[in-house]
Amino acid sequence: MLVIHNPDHARHAGRHEMFRGRLVPCHEMPQRLDHVLAELQRRRFGRLTVPQSGAPDEAAFDALLARVHAPRYLRFLAGAWDEWVALDPANAALDALPSVWPVRTFRSDVEPENFAARMGLYSFDAGTPLTAGTWAAARSGACCAVLAAQAVAAGEPVALALTRPPGHHAGADFFGGYCFLNNAALAAQALRDAGHGRVAVLDVDYHHGNGTQSLFYERADVFFASLHGDPRTEYPFYLGHADERGAGAGLGCNLNLPLPRGTNYPRWRAALGQALQAIADFGAQALVVSLGVDTFEGDPISGFRLASADYLDVGRALAEAALPTVFVFEGGYAVAEVGVNTVNVLEGFAA
């Protein structure tokens, strides 16, 4: 299995996130990916590589980014840290967190000049710190996802984009949920560009992929399916309900399968089977899996009860779809177990 690793991921290392009125250490940390790398090496699994100079073509890559994300949002991300430090040199020792947002009836079409106002315009929570290396890490990670998709389009049966920060909460012009660029959406678009007429994105992270859904909600060429905690009680709260089926040309191309906190593996596995059947019915020619392993019973910020051994079966079930597949690493915050659970999915798939 081809594994494309983001060598810049540790440049994004948030100090704190806002949680229940206080700053707490970030759950999304570089050690998450390091544990996966260590487990891959321990099992001697996969062909590990990193993006090579000049690949993908930078102009083509920038054009792809701008088709998935709004250009003004990309400009903000690229320059945000420099602006933050320019406000006060002491800010270099702090992370940037948003503090104000344009809610209903407020205007979002006019980009404010004030940095805090622009940061709020492009975000939806106060738990996603922007750091000195955020843009470099996110851009390099998006590159990994696109290269994985291009490799699969060229004949590689399966590839993993092993990267952080994660991506599935990032929309066309907003970040949040630790996500800045939507790696799964970029992989799906790269597969479409390479000639796959119909692509499916399957999100198995505990938290609904609200960014991915919003990007493809009105499109008939990309099917989005998600198994996740019920948004009435679980983050990100405002999308992920079962009645969200797509709109316009995309009506019927969105499937949400919300599940209650405490869901065990048999019930979760049945929902996975339902999602895979819908993907087959859609006639997908390629599959992107947003691979979050925060469904694990020991995850500190989630609520399902999957055990490590269950992830082998998850991999086997995904392989039964018999589709060219791109895995994109997403959530999973029980740091010591993230490596085992992720590689179990990949081994199950390969077996």
Provide the token pair at 280.
Answer: 């087959």
Mean pLDDT of 171-193: 98
In order of 152, 184, 198, 234, 285, the CA distances from 195 in angstroms are 12, 17, 9, 37, 10
Dist CA 255 CA 271 (whole Å)? 11
Say what the pLDDT of residue 20 is. Answer: 82
pLDDT of the residue at 251 = 98
Q: pTM (2 decimals)?
A: 0.97
Residue 256, helix vs strand vs coil: strand
For position 21, what pLDDT does the model report?
Answer: 84
Q: Decide if pLDDT at 53 tops 80.
A: no
Q: Specify the DSSP element, H or E, that contains 159.
A: strand 158-162
Dist. CA 178–CA 173, nearest whole Å: 14
pLDDT in tens, 19-41: 888 899 999 999 999 999 999 99
Q: Which residues of 31-64 are buried (b: 16+ CB within 10 A; e: fewer)?
A: ebbbbbbebbeeeeebeeeebeeeebeeeebeeb
DSSP tag of 276: H
Beta partners for 159?
A: 2, 326
Residue 100 to residues 113, 149, 197: CA-CA distances in angstroms?
A: 14, 36, 41
CA-based R_g, the chain, Å: 19
CB 328 within 8 A of CB 290: yes
> What mean pLDDT is reported for the chain?
97
| Phi, psi dihedral angles at 290 (to 5 degrees) | -80, 100
pLDDT tens sequence across 228-276: 999 999 999 999 999 999 999 999 999 999 999 999 999 999 999 999 9
Q: What is the mean predicted confidence (pLDDT) over 107-115?
A: 96
Per-residue pLDDT reduced to its tens digit, 269-285: 999 999 999 999 999 99
Structural domains in the chain plus CATH codes: 2-69+138-350 (3.40.800.20)
Q: Measured at the alpha carbon of residue 72, what is the angle toward residues 68 and 78, in degrees to the nearest 5?
A: 90
**Cα gap 64→40, rounded to integer Å:** 30
Within 10 Å of residue 277's Cβ, how many Cβ atoms? 13
Task: Please measure the distance between the N-terminal and C-terminal CA atoms of the chain and give it in whole angstroms.
Answer: 11
How much of the chain, in percent, has pLDDT values that exceed 70? 100
Q: Which pLDDT value is given to residue 56?
A: 85
CA gap 205, 333 in Å, rounded: 11
Rounded-to-integer distance, Cα 18 and Cα 128, Å: 8
- pLDDT score of 55 more than 80: no
Q: Would you say residue 163 has pLDDT above 90?
A: yes
Q: How many residues does the chain have?
A: 351
> For residue 201, which of 294, 28, 56, 318 has the smallest C-alpha distance?
318
- The residues carrying an active-site annotation are 169
